[in-house]
Structure formats: structure tokens, C-alpha cells
């Protein structure tokens, strides 16, 4: 039995090393196939869902054989593992979102909490499920906590603050504007569910997708917020009111004129949103042009070029 | 510590703790019944 466990351990070590080496090699070779920043690789954090699966089978076996104590231990262990994995996955998503944004509050400590719950689950499983000595079970838990920390890290604790040109901290204002905009988009999506027209629904889907792209640009560079104020305060809010109003009225009265008017308004909104997105992208290009020009002039002045 | 090495050690620790504890729990649940059944069924004395 001891020899078997040793061999299993050696195979696991070799497999892990091989997987990590392959992953590193693929990432280095296929840089262009990397996910854009802000997108969570689908497999990230999934290991913690798969690795405790034997505990679930152990619980099922205990249930089938009528071993109440084993069943309780295994069920508690697996429940904790599942809860920890869900918390960890949520924490990883929040951390990716935090990394993507230039202005962000420190995320809630889901990752740290998840690591703690997984460590507790490991200890409980080793003690009640596997029948280890409580001290050995504590050691299992601590080692699992260290492993989670080294592999996933803990949550960022500081907020990413943003100051405008006058040196005033506008972090809260920026975050409030972005949250409001996100709520408006969600309200449009919610109202569009009540509209039973494929063509209008497709238009609304395109509009919300455009609005999200604009928000993403604003999240990445909050300096653009000043330029996009009209979009946030007038267009997006107006679009929300119109769509909500149409969804309510459409359920009671449906006339061709109303539908045509709504279609025309949606078309205008789509054009305005596209224009806004284009403006933001052009501003980025202009900013870059100015930076390149400044650098080139400086290099010329210093005689480097 | 390089990022690659940190993650490798982390993963190994996770496999060594979560993986081993889970497998031990499964082995225990499979083997304890065969050991416990006779003790329950065997008449005393």
C-alpha cells in the first residue's frame, strides 16, 4: 500500500510538471492566441472542483453501505470543498476584473475566503473522512492553504485610485458613473425581454453590446469620461426610458405607427452609440500620435536621432 | 521566487493535500465497511 501511494505521488509530481511545462511552452509560442486582458481562462480554478470528486464518491459509498459517521464526514468535507471552489472561482473573476480596470475598489476577499474554506475542507476530510489524527489533519489543512496561496494568491487589498488633471481624487465619481451606466444597460436588457419582436430584439442586443464596448473603453481609460458625459447622462438614460416605456405600452397597445417610431429611435440610438465609440477610439489614436510626436521632438533635441 | 516555480510548488501542495485526503477518504469508505461488517455481525463471546 505504501509503495503504491509512493508511485502515485511520483506520477502526480511528474504529470504536474509536464502539464505546467507544456502550458508555459504553448503560451510562449502562441502569444497571439492569448485571451484579451480581462477575460478569465475557462479552466482557471476548475481544479478545485475536480480534485475533491473522490470525496463525493466516498460519501455515496458510505451512504450505500449505511455508514452514518463516514457519510457525515465525507458530506461535510465535500460541501466545504464545493463552497470553497465556488468562492475561489468568484474571487478569481473579481481579480481579473480588478486587473483590467484602471480605477477600481479593492474586491471583496472571495479568493482568500475560498482558500480558507478549501483548507478547512481538507482538514475535515483528512480527519473525519480518512480517519487521520487531528494534528495530522490540521497539517493537511495548513499545507492546502499554503498551496492555494502559492497557486492562486490572495486578493488585492488596495483600491486603484484616479485623480483628474487638477489633482482631485475622482475615484468615487468615476465608479458611480460606471455603475449607473451598467445599471441602465441591464435595465434595457431586462425591458427588451418583454418585447416580442425578433428584429427589435436584435437591434436592442446590438445597442447594449455597443454600450458595453463604450463602457469598457471608459473603464480602461477614465480620462475619456469627461468626453463621454453626454453619452452617459443623456443618450444611455434616454434609451433606457424609451425602451422601458415601449415595453410597457407594447404589451397593452400595439400599433404599426408606434412600432415604426420605436424602430426609428433605435436606429438613431445605434448610430449615436457607434459615433461615440468611434470618437473614443479616435481620441486614443490622437493621444498616441501626440505622445509619439513629443518623444520624437525630444529625441531630436537631445541629438539621439 | 519565479512565478512558474511558485505555481508549480502551489499545485504540488494542492495535489499532495486535497488529492491525497480525497483519495484516502474514498479508500477508507470502501475498506471500512468490509472491516466493520464482520465486527457488527460477529456474535460476542
Q: How far is CA A186 from CA A178, A181, A192, in A?
A: 12, 9, 10
Residue B14 touches chain A, beta carbons under 8 Å: yes
Is B24–A13 a contact, with Cβ atoms under 8 angstroms apart? no
- CB-based contacts of A116, cutoff 8 Å, min separation 6: A84, A145
Is-contact A247 A192, C-beta < 8 A?
A: yes
Chain A: residue whose CA lies nearest to B16: A9
Whether this model's pTM surpasses 0.80? no
Is A70–B9 a contact, with Cβ atoms under 8 angstroms apart? no
Whole-angstrom Cα distance, residue A174 to residue A163? Answer: 10
Q: Could you say which of A70, A132, A151 has the minimum Cβ distance to residue B7? A: A151
pLDDT of residue B21: 92
- CB-based contacts of A195, cutoff 8 Å, min separation 6: A201, A204, A243, A246, A247, A250
Which sign does the torsion angle of CA A252, A258, A263, A266 carry? Answer: negative
The pLDDT of residue B19 is above 80: yes
Kindly report the length of chain B.
45
DSSP state of A223: G
Whole-angstrom Cα distance, residue A24 to residue A272? Answer: 44
pLDDT of residue B40: 39
Residue B31: pLDDT band with limits 50, 70, 90: confident
Chain A residues touching residue B29 (CB < 8 angstroms): 58-59, 61-62, 65, 67, 70, 74, 129
Residue given cell 470525496 in the structure block: A55
- Residue B19 to chain A, least CA–CA distance (Å): 6
Chain A residues touching residue B19 (CB < 8 angstroms): 12, 51
Q: Could you say which of A48, A54, A149 has the minimum Cβ distance to residue B26? A: A54
Is A20–B16 a contact, with Cβ atoms under 8 angstroms apart? no
Is B17–A122 a contact, with Cβ atoms under 8 angstroms apart? yes
pLDDT of residue A101: 79
Q: Where are the alpha helices (DSSP H) in chain A?
A: 2-29, 47-50, 53-65, 68-100, 110-124, 134-152, 171-192, 198-220, 229-230, 236-252, 256-301
Q: In this prediction, does ipTM exceed 0.90? A: no
Whole-angstrom Cα distance, residue B27 to residue A261? Answer: 69
Burial class (CB in 10 A: 0-12, 13-18, 19+), A33: exposed
Residue B31 touches chain A, beta carbons under 8 Å: no
Interface of A with B in 49-68 (CB under 8 A): 51-55, 57-59, 61-62, 65, 67
Chain A residues touching residue B28 (CB < 8 angstroms): 58, 70, 129-131
Is B4–A20 a contact, with Cβ atoms under 8 angstroms apart? yes
* Local structure of A70: helix, strand or coil: helix
What are the residue ranges in chain A where pLDDT is below 70?
1-13, 16-17, 20-43, 165, 284-285, 287-288, 304-305
pLDDT of residue A285: 67
pLDDT of residue A25: 66
Neighbours of A122 (CB within 10 A): 35
Is A58–B17 a contact, with Cβ atoms under 8 angstroms apart? no
Is-contact A146 B18, C-beta < 8 A?
A: no
Residue B43: pLDDT band with limits 50, 70, 90: very low
pLDDT of residue B38: 39
Q: Could you say which of B10, B25, B30 has the minimum Cβ distance to residue A147? A: B10
Which sign does the torsion angle of CA A190, A195, A197, A199 carry? Answer: negative
Whole-angstrom Cα distance, residue A211 to residue A231? Answer: 9
pLDDT of residue A305: 61
Residue A288 touches chain B, beta carbons under 8 Å: no
Amino acid at each position: 500500500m505504501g509503495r503504491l501511494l509512493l508511485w502515485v505521488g511520483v506520477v502526480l509530481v511528474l504529470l504536474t510538471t509536464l502539464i505546467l511545462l507544456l502550458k508555459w511552452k504553448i503560451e510562449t509560442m502562441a502569444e497571439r492566441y492569448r485571451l484579451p486582458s480581462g477575460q478569465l481562462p475557462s479552466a482557471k480554478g476548475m481544479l478545485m472542483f475536480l480534485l475533491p470528486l473522490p470525496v463525493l464518491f466516498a460519501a455515496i459509498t458510505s451512504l450505500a453501505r449505511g455508514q452514518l459517521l463516514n457519510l457525515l464526514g465525507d458530506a461535510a468535507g465535500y460541501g466545504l470543498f464545493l463552497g470553497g471552489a465556488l468562492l475561489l472561482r468568484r474571487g478569481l473573476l473579481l481579480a481579473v476584473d480588478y486587473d483590467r480596470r484602471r480605477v477600481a475598489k479593492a474586491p471583496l476577499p472571495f479568493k482568500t475566503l475560498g482558500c480558507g474554506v478549501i483548507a478547512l475542507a481538507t482538514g475535515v476530510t483528512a480527519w473525519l473522512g480518512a480517519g487521520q489524527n487531528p494534528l495530522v489533519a490540521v497539517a493537511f489543512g495548513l499545507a492546502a492553504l499554503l498551496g492555494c496561496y502559492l497557486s492562486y494568491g490572495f486578493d488585492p487589498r488596495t483600491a486603484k485610485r484616479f485623480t483628474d488633471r487638477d489633482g482631485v481624487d475622482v475615484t468615487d465619481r468615476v465608479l458611480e458613473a460606471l455603475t449607473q451606466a451598467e445599471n441602465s444597460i441591464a435595465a434595457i436588457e431586462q425591458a427588451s425581454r418583454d418585447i416580442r419582436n425578433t428584429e427589435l430584439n436584435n437591434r436592442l442586443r446590438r445597442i447594449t453590446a455597443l454600450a458595453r464596448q463604450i463602457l469598457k473603453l471608459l473603464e480602461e481609460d477614465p480620462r475619456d469620461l469627461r468626453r463621454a458625459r453626454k453619452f452617459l447622462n443623456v443618450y444611455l438614460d434616454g434609451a433606457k426610458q424609451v425602451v422601458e416605456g415601449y415595453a410597457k405600452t407594447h404589451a397593452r397597445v400595439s400599433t404599426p405607427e408606434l412600432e415604426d417610431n420605436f424602430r426609428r429611435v433605435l436606429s438613431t440610438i445605434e448610430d449615436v452609440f457607434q459615433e461615440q465609440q468611434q470618437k473614443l477610439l479616435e481620441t486614443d489614436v490622437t493621444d498616441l500620435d501626440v505622445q509619439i510626436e513629443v518623444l520624437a521632438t525630444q529625441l531630436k533635441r537631445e541629438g539621439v536621432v | 521566487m519565479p512565478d512558474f516555480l511558485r505555481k508549480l510548488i502551489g499545485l504540488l501542495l494542492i495535489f499532495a493535500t486535497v488529492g491525497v485526503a480525497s483519495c484516502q477518504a474514498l479508500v477508507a469508505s470502501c475498506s471500512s465497511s468490509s472491516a466493520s461488517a464482520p465486527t457488527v455481525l460477529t456474535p460476542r463471546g
